[in-house]
Amino acid sequence: MRKLLLLLALCVAAAASLAAAAADAEPRYTVVKIDLRKERLELFLRDDAGVEFKRFDRLEAWLAGRNRQLVFAMNAGMYHADFSPVGLLVQDGREVSPLNLSTDAGNFFLKPNGVFLVSRAGRPRVVESSEYPALSKGVRLATQSGPLLLRRGRVHPAFIPDSDSRKIRNGVGVSGHTAIFVISEQPVNFYEFALYFRDVLHCRDALYLDGTVSALHSLALRRSDFVRELGPILGVVVP
């Protein structure tokens, strides 16, 4: 099996970068960086029979039956009770679920929300949702979620630095050809999470994927989380 070219790091945020962090413990994060010039991201939701995977181990077993191995995976955005995506989902250039620009309650609808996409040329981007239609023809993979953590280097205006709404959270940022996936190892608020992407990882654009249900599968880290059943899943598979 060829070596997976993922840059993996367990990162501890500096107190100066996260001024709102709890005084007795700095939030910690696990970071997986995927260079899309070398690795291929895929989106998974259902098997050939139309049954949702819901768990990393089920996806792993399905892939193993095709002589493929799941080396990285993360929950890919918010979903309804039937596990269908709340917003846009594009797999291999095919739109499975449409863009959702409606207004409603909940984190997904906290505008601006956004789309993580990978172009057919292999370039990752995080864009505001209303910007997506102009880019859609060149997209291979896309998932919509919300809120945006960062947009052009600016933290979402609704985030409160000293908010006591703390959860295990996960998200994705971009830097050049690299998609940067992050999951917190301690409960953090939105503001702290956004600052980590901006001040430590130096991302200008980043998207929140979810909280509470956040989960990571990493062969290199010998880790495969199960918190609860999932909707869409982002993954890297070999060969």
Determine the pLDDT at residue 11: 39
Q: According to DSSP H, which parts of the chain are helical?
A: 56-64, 190-195
Determine the pLDDT at residue 25: 46
pTM for this entry: 0.89
Determine the pLDDT at residue 4: 43
Per-domain residue ranges for the chain?
28-228
Kindly report the CA angle at 213 between 207 and 214, in degrees rounded to 5?
50
Determine the pLDDT at residue 27: 63
| Mean pLDDT for back-to-back runs of 10 residues, the chain (239 residues) | 42 31 58 97 97 98 98 97 98 98 96 98 97 97 98 98 97 98 97 98 98 96 97 97
DSSP symbol at 198: I
Report the alpha-carbon distance of residue 115 to residue 142 in Å, rounded: 7
Nearest alpha carbon to residue 58 among 67, 70, 72: 70
- Give yes or no for a contact between 126 and 206, defined as CB atoms under 8 angstroms apart: yes
Determine the pLDDT at residue 141: 98
Amino acid at 10: L
Determine the pLDDT at residue 92: 97
Determine the pLDDT at residue 8: 44
Number of H helices, E strands in the chain: 2, 17
Report the alpha-carbon distance of residue 232 to residue 239 in Å, rounded: 21
